[in-house]
Amino acid sequence: MANDTNLIHPLWVRLTHWINALAVVVLATSGWRIYDASPFFAFEIPREITLGGWLGGAIQWHFAAMWLLVANGLIYLVCNAISGRLWHKFFPLSPSAFFADVLAALKGSLSHADLSHYNMVQRAAYLFVMVDSVLLVLSGLVLWKSVQFPILRELLGGYEAARREHFLAMAALVAFAGIHLLMVALVPRTLLAMIRGR
Amino acid sequence: MIRKPSRQLAIDGDLVLKDATKEIARRLDQPTRRAFLQRSLSLGGLSLLSGCSVVDESSVENALMTVSRFNDKVQAWLFDPNRLAPTYPDSMITRPFPFNAYYGEDEIRQVEEESYRLEVTGMVADKHAWTLAELRAMPQADQITRHICVEGWSAIGKWGGVPFADFLRRVGADLSAKYVGFKCADDYYTSIDMPTALHPQTLLTLTYDSQPLPPRYGFPMKLRMPTKLGYKNPKHIQAIFVTNTYPGGYWEDQGYNWFGGS
């Protein structure tokens, strides 16, 4: 695999990507149903797009898919770190180059010729998703076991603060997914690459 | 649905009693069974959206239940018997403290103090029924802790009563038993693990905010555990039993996680 120069995404990246996508869809849609049981903002999520049928069902889905997200996420991060991919794909990160790429993207002049190369916007977005997912897991741990993780609970500002953080981190992830899907629609080759690797 | 005993049967006292008992059991069973039917649609809105059942629902539910049992074990393993839930000053008490039950406020049960007896059965040495006076005579403790509901909301309240570990030792409970079960005057029932039963903040609660526990919060007695979600904290407790046979619970039997710890 190492000398296959045409490969854009190695198999483990593709596998963890799609497992993660499944886990995120299940967690987000079941999480919305849980939120609806006691909303803390002035809106509810339409039931039609939630998973679980009722609070107990949604919690079962949520607390099953969390294991998938965590296990898959750990595999992804460990493979990323030991393969060195994390450093040479996502770094260096330069703020000025980031803004230049954002401008280029908005003008439609950002090159996607080489899909194995991540531009600054991609690097920042993917790194953000990694950090955001970690925050989702940590705030989720505080919601699930607030008594058993006192340091984490206090770091996040207590149980009630963790609820909001968990929700906002979800919203950020969903916003990313929306933009991500839009980008895939604009450059459909990327979808093929994430399926067959090239 | 509700069958009335016929006039002829009314002559036979035994038959009427038998019929009535069956009838009550059936009617009590109704809400739960109805809930089961409504709640079996685990795919919820998404299955409506897709318009078809891509997977067999009962096998999905069995798989989810298996994970829920696994989560019970993980929580039992994570549970530190000496780790205390945070406590708060009086000024942080949520006023008014919310009422919550599987029924509305207009259906709150009224329990008579004079005739009240707490039944204690199962793996205990002393099976005598307790009066409220006897419970009040035991050493009392209080706590201001956060009640976390499975729905997500939380509220801080002040509860006082008998540390449950003291009570279990007093009745000579087998502390190596797996479960402590509760049956309540409002037909609620639940059960907890022994390590949580023995946790220092688990309280056989007789007071709320230094006043006798009002009916809305579970008169004459509730079990308060700041280490567990609200639905694990039974109100109007009438019977406590120590057992190695899994007793389940009102919500737990419908799919809420049994350990329900926080």
CATH code, domain with B218:
3.90.420.10
The DSSP code for B141 is E
Please indicate, yes or no, if residue B7 is contained in any of the structural domains: yes
- Do B105 and B28 fall into the same domain? no
Instruction: Please report, rounded to a whole number, the percentage of residues in chain B having pLDDT higher than 70.
Output: 79
Across the interface, whether the CB atoms of A145 and B80 are under 8 A apart is answered no
Note whether B189 and B115 are same-domain residues.
yes
Q: Give the residue on B whose Cα is nearest the Cα of A61.
A: B64
CA-only gyration radius of chain B, Å: 20
Q: Which of A49, A53, A146 sits opposite B148 (nearest CB)?
A: A146
Whether B261 is in a domain gets the answer: no
Q: Which residue has the higher pLDDT, A113 or B131?
A: B131
B261/A48 CB distance under 8 A: no
Q: Which residue has the higher pLDDT, A34 or B32?
A: A34
Of A57, A61, A160, which is closest to B39 when you measure between CB atoms? A57
Residue B210 has pLDDT above 70, yes or no: yes
User: Given a cut of 50, is residue B78 above it in pLDDT?
Assistant: yes
| Range B196-219 average pLDDT | 98
Kindly state whether residues B23 and B116 are assigned to the same domain.
no
Cβ within 8 Å of residue B51, ≥6 positions away: none
* Together in a domain, B22 and B132: no
Contact A53 B43 (CB under 8 A): yes
Residues B219 and B97 reside in one and the same domain: yes
Contact list in A for residue B86 (CB cut-off 8 A) is 147, 150, 153
Q: How far is CA A177 from the centre of its chain?
A: 7
- Note the pLDDT of residue A2: 47
Bridge partners, residue B243, by sequence: B179
Asked if B109 and B222 sit in the same domain, the reply is yes
Q: Is the pLDDT of residue B16 over 60?
A: no
Which chain A residues are Cβ-neighbours of B78 within 8 angstroms?
145, 148
Class of residue A118 by CB neighbours under 10 A (exposed 0-12, middle 13-18, buried 19+):
middle
Same domain, B114 and B232: yes
The beta-carbon neighbor of A56 closest among B75, B148, B255 is: B255
Report the C-alpha gap between B135 and B119 in whole angstroms: 12
User: Which of A105-119, B63-77, B139-153, B230-244 is predicted with the least confidence, judged by mean pLDDT?
Assistant: A105-119
Pair B98, B193 in one domain: yes
- The interface residues of chain A toward chain B in range 76-135, judged by CB-CB distance below 8 A, are none
Chain A residue with minimal CA distance to B146?
A159
pLDDT of the residue at B12: 55
**Do the beta carbons of residue B103 and residue B250 sit within 8 Å?**
no
Confidence of residue B58 (pLDDT cuts 50, 70, 90): confident
A142/chain B closest Cα distance in angstroms? 8
Residue B57 lies in a domain: no
Query: Which of A48, A54, A160 is nearest residue B154 as measured by Cβ atoms?
Result: A160
Q: Supply the range of the domain harboring residue B28.
A: 1-35
B153 found inside a domain: yes
Q: Is residue B71 part of a domain?
A: no
Instruction: Tell whether B128 is covered by a domain.
Output: yes
Do B31 and B91 share a domain, yes or no? no
Give the number of domains in chain B: 2
Q: How does pLDDT run along chain A (198 residues), one tens digit per residue?
A: 444 567 899 999 999 999 999 999 999 999 999 999 999 999 999 999 999 999 999 999 999 999 999 999 999 999 999 999 999 999 999 999 999 999 998 888 888 888 989 999 999 999 999 999 999 999 999 999 999 999 999 999 999 999 999 999 999 999 999 999 999 999 999 999 999 998
Long-range contacts of B74-77 (CB under 8 A, 24+ apart): B75/A145, B75/B257, B75/B259, B75/B261, B76/B193, B76/B195, B76/B259
Residue B194's nearest CA partner among B99, B259, B238 is B259
Element (H, E) at A127: helix A120-144
The confidence score (pLDDT) of residue A6 equals 73
Helix (H/G/I), strand (E/B), else coil: A14: helix
Which chain B residues are closer than 8 Å to A159 by Cβ? 146, 148, 154
* Cβ neighbours of A37 in B, within 8 Å: 150-152
In a domain, B73, yes or no: no
Nearest to B227 among A46, A56, A147 (CB): A147
B contact test, residue of A44, A67, A147 with most B CBs within 10 A: A147
CATH architecture group of domain A11-196: Up-down Bundle (1.20)
Whether residue B19 sits in one domain with residue B111: no
B108 and B235 in a single domain? The answer is yes
- B13 in a structural domain: yes
> Do A38 and B45 lie within an 8 Å CB cutoff?
no
Q: State the pLDDT at residue A113.
A: 86
Give the pLDDT of residue A110. Answer: 86
According to the model, what pLDDT value does residue B56 have?
A: 73
Q: How many inter-chain contacts (A to B, CB under 8 Å) are there?
A: 108
Q: Are residues B12 and B93 in the same domain?
A: no
Looking at per-residue confidence, does A188 or B18 come out higher? A188
Q: Which residues of B touch A (CB under 8 A)?
A: 38-46, 48-49, 63-65, 67-68, 71, 75, 78-80, 83-86, 146, 148-154, 226-227, 251, 254-257, 261-262
Rg, Å, chain A Cα set = 18
